[in-house]
Structure 1
Amino acid sequence: MKTIAILLALAAGAASAQAPAPLADVLGCADFDTLARPVLWHEGAAAQLADCKSLRREGSAELECRPRGKLDVLGLAASEFSLRESSDGSHTAHTVFKAGIDRVRAAAEKRRGGVFEPEGADGYVMRLPGPGERRLELGQREDGASELACVAAGPQAADATRAGADATHGALRGRVTFPTRPIPPMRVCAVPVGAARGGWCALTGEDIPGFTIGAIPPGEYYVLAWPERDNPNGFVVAYARALERCAPNQPGCAGGILERVYIRARQVRDGVDLTRTFTDLPPHLARPPDPR
């Protein structure tokens, strides 16, 4: 009997050690393993503490909740929270506090043992060690409430980060061609639509067609490439479609129409292949822009 009691005690201890942390720990960025579970798994625990609404969209799920009583997160009262599972495999716990951003920042730094760094115009980010990308994002709403997000990035999100996409920037990837062989080293640039000069650029090596341009602010862009040397014909290759109907003096009408590429924050636009060659683009597109 004594042996059985010991075994039962050990089993109970093991089960306790493996039990997921309370919801408040998930919202406070203390348990990323539990955060990474499907949103459906969290619904039962959330329903015990709050009135929740479940939202399903293509490739994602979200649980939006308002606590029925006091919900302590990081030693502060949470006024609302949400749990989101994104199509890129990321999981986010989002908590709103009536406390000011300085109080929330101090509480999170004390309990998580890290330091927030500025990100964007008025936000902060704290990156934590561990498998995958784990981070805390902190900002302030227009009504003065503070917002804390605990983010466990999925594989696609980690890929986007490597490509140069973050909370305020996107990225694009593709391949470049050229009328001659081998393909010379190229300067590939995302040029803002409507801008007179300036752009975000990357350099390719000789006969290396693949390119990635990161840290691009959200917006609409033309994507063009110019050889770094030996270009007596003034060739410019671009992301464009074949000429169909073209208004007079429309940019790119010589051999096609330039396609606009929309860049979104945290996203990588793939498949931006530069396959059409131009020789008479408007002056501000006929030569490489000054890098920003």
Structure 2
Amino acid sequence: MTMKTIWEHRSHDGVQGMYSHASGSAGRDMAFGVFVPDHAPGATLPVLWYLSGLTCTAANVVEKGEYRAACARHGIILVAPDTSPRGEGVADDADYDLGVGAGFYVDATQQPWAANYRMRSYVEEELPAIVRSQFPADFARQSITGHSMGGHGALTIALRNPQRFRSVSAFAPLCAPMQCSWGEKAFSNYLGTNRQAWRPYDAVALIEDGARLSELLVDQGTADQFLTEQLKPQLLHQACTQAGIDATIRMQEGYDHSYFFISTFMSDHVEWHAARLKQHTAHE
């Protein structure tokens, strides 16, 4: 598991780096960001995964997310994967909501996408193995968050792996991608026309099918231009209410879909996750 350092910088009493490795899941090199706060020699730190949205790379949150001060304060590593495979020979589309920058955290089964678009395997299996081998990460204490398409990824990954994550949150997530044009376009291309194959990648459908979390946190801006047509937090609220999941969905007045919104509430999310990452469990 060879990892290359692209760059590292001292920041907020820690080290922010950008790294790359040859990915078997994606069939090419993948870049990812990691922030590691200062810590005692030999210590391991809890991990917060951050999944980015459409058109983003791993660099967007690293440059605009404003998470490092809170992560340093609470001693949390933050890992930011890329959103898709990239480079020559990778299938792409002229539209921003399909192809490069739009992996949707699924394992594609349809051509020409299946060769490289295996972002579920990458985020759930391959990248964690790299992080575990290269950084002082305590994998008994993990949480996950994300924005928009990445919020969809965070919710669905947590719902499929409830024992792995202490907590899950999201910023303006695609709550029910099977019921919006972004999700329908991506899923039909990546997964085919059988809608049953889409359900493991839809938070509302997963909850309807029996997946459970104890709680979740969502922040959603009321001035988000995608709120009504694409994001649909009311569907997530309804599904959680019916399933008995403690869902805190905060409608933030006047905020849009941008990193100005995300950065405003990022420290809140880090602190919310920190409280849960610091709790002891019976096996510790």
Q: TM-score range by the shorter chain?
A: under 0.3
Q: TM-score, normalised by structure 1?
A: 0.21
Larger relative helix fraction:
2
Higher relative contact order (CA 8 A, sep 6+): 2
Asked which structure has the greater CA Rg, the reply is 1
Task: With the length of structure 2 as denominator, give the TM-score of the two structures.
Answer: 0.21
Structure in which a larger fraction of residues adopt strand: 1
